[in-house]
Structure 1
Amino acid sequence: MNEADPARPATLPGATSWRLEIYDELGSTSDLCLERAQAGAAARLGVMARRQVRGRGSRGRDWQDPGGNLAFSVLLRPDGAGGWPAGLWPFIAGLAFYDALAPWISDPASLRLKWPNDLLLDGRKAAGILIESGGEADRWLVIGFGANLRAAPPIPGRDLACVAEYGPPPVPEIVAQGICDGLDRWMAVCGRGGFAPVRQAWLEHAHPPGTRLVVRGESGQVEGSFEGLDAQGLLLLRCADGTRRISAGEILLLDRGAMAPPAGDGTAAAT
């Protein structure tokens, strides 16, 4: 790749069914995938940036990229990849991401999935996913993956984690390749057995039942204990007045002292 030309892509070897591109610098990998989707690009495109300057996190936050971390997005066409409801994709993407990161963690039990789209190391956010979709006659899906591999940006009030704290950090290209392999694996699992085996695998890697959570939504917040997922992937939260099914919201772990509102999305919530 010509290092002087950050707009010129380099193709990552392997995974011949994926078209994988690496850029020295991009504003946002997801934005590039969105542009390609709207221009009619075929599915199974992956875009990685070694440096991302306008990354986007969940809930409209900025994603701060100190460099050396993962900024990676993929383009899929749901009608050609199962046609499953949108609610299944966070679990497929989450398992693919988990599989790509777990081999680099000295104690894999430290790595946990948090509903609906985060990965935690000992309860501290280290990685995340942002899913966007659109189109009418030709539906598209863009999934952004971000991970703190070498460093977690300093953000007041946030206790963030990075992979380098748990072992030698992988190069981002290897993690990107692992995500593509994992997406193939878990889409095939869902194609054969539906959501049930995906749900079971996700729960095996999630924070354990009984974990105390706060769910913040438009109508306020509710506190309870994690009780699992229902058959559609909704969060089951045991509260004082019974079990509630949560379809959306910001999830905070009470035992991490995460009651203060985030100052920004310094962890890799998305790209």
Structure 2
Amino acid sequence: MSQPVLRPSVVPIPRGGGATWRLEVHDRLGSTSDLCKARLEAGAGADGIAILALEQTAGRGSRGRAWSDPGGNLALSVMLVGQGAAVPVGLWPFIAGLALHDAVAGYVPAGHVLELKWPNDLLLDGGKMAGILIETGIGAGVSWQVIGIGANLRGKPDIAGRTLACLADCGVDAPAAPAVARKLLHHLGLWLSCYETHGFAAIRTAWLDRGHAIGTPIRVRAGNQQFTGTFAGLGDDGILLLRTPGGVRRVVTGEVLLAPATPE
């Protein structure tokens, strides 16, 4: 006998300007971003729909890595279509990062450090607790963007060579994913409004206030290259500025490690 298909619950969340986010809460999915992309490529996606999976079995992170979820964590993707996708894709890590930081910050007790890491990570006490993956495309002749966000709330995977963290490490009763998703979408609306009113300069200032400090030692891996320096801020376009012995270098892409460089 076949199992009944469980329909997701739907939660409307004010977005600003009279618009709303439409949060769909699914019990189990392979990948929230893959579901968004499948709908969008079929022309069935709509701007402002957010997909949350209480259990995600095939999540993806940056650089083709798997995003492993031991359960109880945040797996959320947001569809932006047409006019909603007007924000340049390179600025989304900063807007979404601010929303993610502010949604999580209220759960972190005093004595613990929550900070953004360029370009798309959120660190808790130096360990990665969340990441953002931006994907773009065109479906039915309309451009779209999918903002995928994964955050370790109640547990973290054990991955050799990587330092990971979760909210439960702070000794708190970590919140349920739907509560964090609602907060995140609320803050996403606020930061989008900020961007629309004040431009990227305001986003850049807010990100620097929540990000790794100026002067932080950094090692960058970009393809076969590796170089080191200290964090010198963000360019007007969000590019990482790295102070090196040869001067300030603009870093467009690469894997950033916030630690003094050590010989390979």
TM-score, normalising length: structure 1: 0.89
Counterpart position of 1:267 = none
Contact 2:85 2:143 in 1 (8 A): no
Look up the match of 2:64. 60
Could you give the per-residue CA deviations for residues 148-199 of structure 1, whole angstroms, max 9, x where no partner exists?
1001111222221101122221110011111111111111001001100000
How many residue pairs get aligned? The number is 255
Q: Which structure shows the bigger proportion of residues in strand conformation?
A: 2
Partner of 2:9: 10
For 1:101, the aligned partner's letter is V
Alignment of 1:153-164 (within 5 A): 153-164=157-168
Q: Secondary structure at the match of 1:104?
A: coil
2:47 maps to which residue? 43
Contact 1:82 1:187 in 2 (8 A): no
Check the 8 A contact 1:100/1:175 in 2, yes or no: yes
Residue in 2 aligned with 1:250? 255
Distance 2:262 2:203 in 1: 28
Inter-CA distance 27–186: structure 2 relative to 1 (3 Å threshold): same
Distance 1:183 1:239 in 2: 34
Cα distance between partner residues in 2 of 1:102 and 1:258 = 32
Q: CA deviation at 1:83?
A: 1.9
The CA deviation at 1:73 is 0.5
RMSD of aligned alpha carbons: 2.0
Higher relative contact order, chain-length normalized (CA < 8 Å, sep 6+): 1
One-letter amino acid of the structure 2 residue matched with residue 129 of structure 1: I
What is the DSSP-based 3-state SS (H/G/I as helix, E as strand, rest coil) of the residue aligned with 2:20?
A: coil
Residues 138, 121 of structure 1: alpha-carbon distance in 2 compared, 3 angstrom cutoff: same
Distance 1:43 1:178, change over 3 A: same
User: Secondary structure at 2:142's aligned position in 1?
Assistant: coil
Structure 2 residue aligned with 1:139: 143
What is the one-letter code of the residue matched to 1:64? S
Tell me the residue number matched to 2:124: 121
- One of 188, 201, 213 as aligned partner of 1:208: 213
SS of alignment partner, residue 158 of structure 1? coil
Cα distance, 1:81 vs structure 2: 3.0
The one-letter amino acid of 1:9's match is: P
Cα offset, 1:99, TM superposition? 1.1
Post-superposition offset of 1:5: 4.9
TM-score of the pair, normalised by structure 2: 0.91
- Matched with 2:227 is 222
Query: Please, which of 170, 181, 185 is the counterpart of residue 175 of structure 2?
Result: 170
The code of the aligned residue for 2:9 comes to A
Q: Residue 91 of structure 1: CA displacement?
A: 0.6
Deviation for aligned residue 1:58: 0.7
1:86 aligns with 2:84: no
| Paired residue type of 2:136 | S
Whole-angstrom CA distance in 2 between matches of 1:134 and 1:186: 23
Equivalent of residue 107 in structure 1, options 110, 120, 125: 110
